[in-house]
Structure 1
Amino acid sequence: MEEKDLQLIRSAKHGSKEAFALLVQNYKQYVYRTAYGILQSRTDAEDVVQEAFIKAYLSLAQLQEERSFPSWITTITTRLAIDLIKKRQRASPVTWDDSWLQIQDPKHDISHTELRLSVHHALAELNEDHRAILILREIHGFDYQEIANILQIPIGTVRSRLHSARMQLRKTLENHL
C-alpha cells in the first residue's frame, strides 16, 4: 500500500470527505472486480460497490490498522455480494479476467476467446462459496489467513473449499474442452 493511500485513509478517518472521495476513486475498480466476480452481474456489482463504500465511510473510524484497508474493504464487499446472492438465489453469467488460468496442454489447441467462454461457463456452475474463494485467492491474491478473515471461516475450510473449487473447475473445463 502506498504512503499516499495511508495519508488518505488517515485524513478520511478524521472526517475529510475529499480524502474519502479519493480513496473511492483509487479503489473502485478493485472493489468492482471483487463484487462482479462473485455476483456475475454488472448491475448487482455496481449496487454492491456503492453499498460497500457507504458502509466503509460509516465505519471507517473503526478501522484499526490503515494498512489493512484493502482486505477490510474486500471483506465488506465479499459479505455484501454473498448476502445478495443468498437473498436473490439466482444465477447469471460471469465474465472476468481469467489471465491467471493457464492451460498449457498442447492437445487443447483453443483460442483465448474459447478459453474465456469455457471458464465463463465453468465458473457459472460453481456455487457462490467456491466462486468467492477462487476470486479472493486467484484474482486478488489473498493468502489463506486473509481469506479466512474475510469470509469468517476457519483456515481449514478455506483450504478445503479452494481445493474443491479448483477440482470442480478443472473437471468442468475438461468437459467443456
Structure 2
Amino acid sequence: MTEDDILLIRLAKRGNPDAFARIVANYKDFVYRTAYGVLHHKTDAEDVTQETFIKVYQSLRSLRDEHNFPAWLARITARNALDWRQRHWKHRSEPLEDNQVTSGVNPHHQTDVRMEVEHAMQQLGDDYRTILVLRELYGFSYEELAEILALPVGTVRSRLHYARMQLREQLQQEGRG
C-alpha cells in the first residue's frame, strides 16, 4: 500500500468522489479476484465486486486506520462473496482466465496444471477455499486472516493446514501429487 493510496482513502473518507473513484480503479482487480476465488463464477464475482464497493463507500468513514485498508477490503469482499453464495446457492464455476494463473513455460502444461488445481479447489468447502485464496494468492498473514474472517489465529492456522491437506489429496487423486 502506497502513501498515495492512504491519501486517497483519507480524501474519500472526507467525501471526495474523485478519490473514491481512484480507489475503485486501484482495487477493483483485487476485489474481483478475491470474489472469483471464493465463487468460481465470473458474473457472480462481478456482481460481488460492485456490491463490495457500494458497502465500502457506505462504511469507509468507519475505517479507523487507513493502513489496514487492504485487510478491511478483503474482509468485506470475502464476506460478501460467501453471503452471495449462500443467498444464491449456486454451485457453478467457470475456468480461470488465462491471465489469472501463470506458471511454467509450456502453455499446454500450464493449462493442464491450472485446470487440475482449479478442479481441486472447487472440491474444497467454501471456508477452506476462501482461506487458501486469501493466504496463497494475496499473502495475508495469519493475524490478517483472523481479522478478515473473524476467527481466532489458532483456527486460521488449523483451517489452513486442513485446506492444504485436502487440496494435496485432491491433486494426488488427479495424478498431480
Find the residue that maps to 1:111 and give its secondary structure.
helix
Which residue does the alignment assign to 1:160? 158
- Looking at structure 2, the residues matched to 175 and 99 of structure 1 have their Cα atoms a distance apart, in angstroms, of 23
Structure 2 counterpart of 1:75, one-letter code: R
Structure 1 counterpart of 2:64, one-letter code: Q
- Looking at structure 2, the residues matched to 89 and 160 of structure 1 have their Cα atoms a distance apart, in angstroms, of 26
Q: Is the 8 A contact 1:13 1:60 kept in 2?
A: yes
Question: Is 1:122 aligned to 2:123, yes or no?
Answer: no
- Looking at structure 2, the residues matched to 175 and 94 of structure 1 have their Cα atoms a distance apart, in angstroms, of 21
Question: Is 1:10 aligned to 2:10, yes or no?
Answer: yes
RMSD, matched Cα: 1.6
- Looking at structure 1, the residues matched to 122 and 28 of structure 2 have their Cα atoms a distance apart, in angstroms, of 24
Q: Is the 8 A contact 1:119 1:173 kept in 2?
A: yes
Where does 1:1-177 land on structure 2 (aligned, <5 Å)?
1-93=1-93, 95-96=95-96, 97-99=100-102, 111-177=109-175
Query: How far is 1:98 from its partner?
Result: 4.6
Sequence identity percentage:
50
- Looking at structure 2, the residues matched to 171 and 98 of structure 1 have their Cα atoms a distance apart, in angstroms, of 21
Counting matched residue pairs gives 169
Structure 2 counterpart of 1:22, one-letter code: R
Query: How far is 1:94 from its partner?
Result: 5.2
**Any runs of at least 4 consecutive aligned residues in structure 1 with deviations exceeding 3 A, and if so which?**
94-100
Query: CA offsets per residue over residues 7-38 of structure 1, 9 Å max, x none?
Result: 11111011100100000000000111000110
- Looking at structure 2, the residues matched to 67 and 95 of structure 1 have their Cα atoms a distance apart, in angstroms, of 33
Change beyond 3 A, Cα 1:37–1:120: same
TM-score (normalised: structure 1): 0.90
Structure 2 counterpart of 1:54, one-letter code: I
Question: After alignment, is 79-88 or 22-31 more displaced?
Answer: 79-88
- Looking at structure 2, the residues matched to 130 and 95 of structure 1 have their Cα atoms a distance apart, in angstroms, of 19
Q: Is the 8 A contact 1:95 1:120 kept in 2?
A: yes
- Looking at structure 2, the residues matched to 98 and 145 of structure 1 have their Cα atoms a distance apart, in angstroms, of 26
Query: Which 5+ residue runs of structure 2 have no aligned equivalent?
Result: none
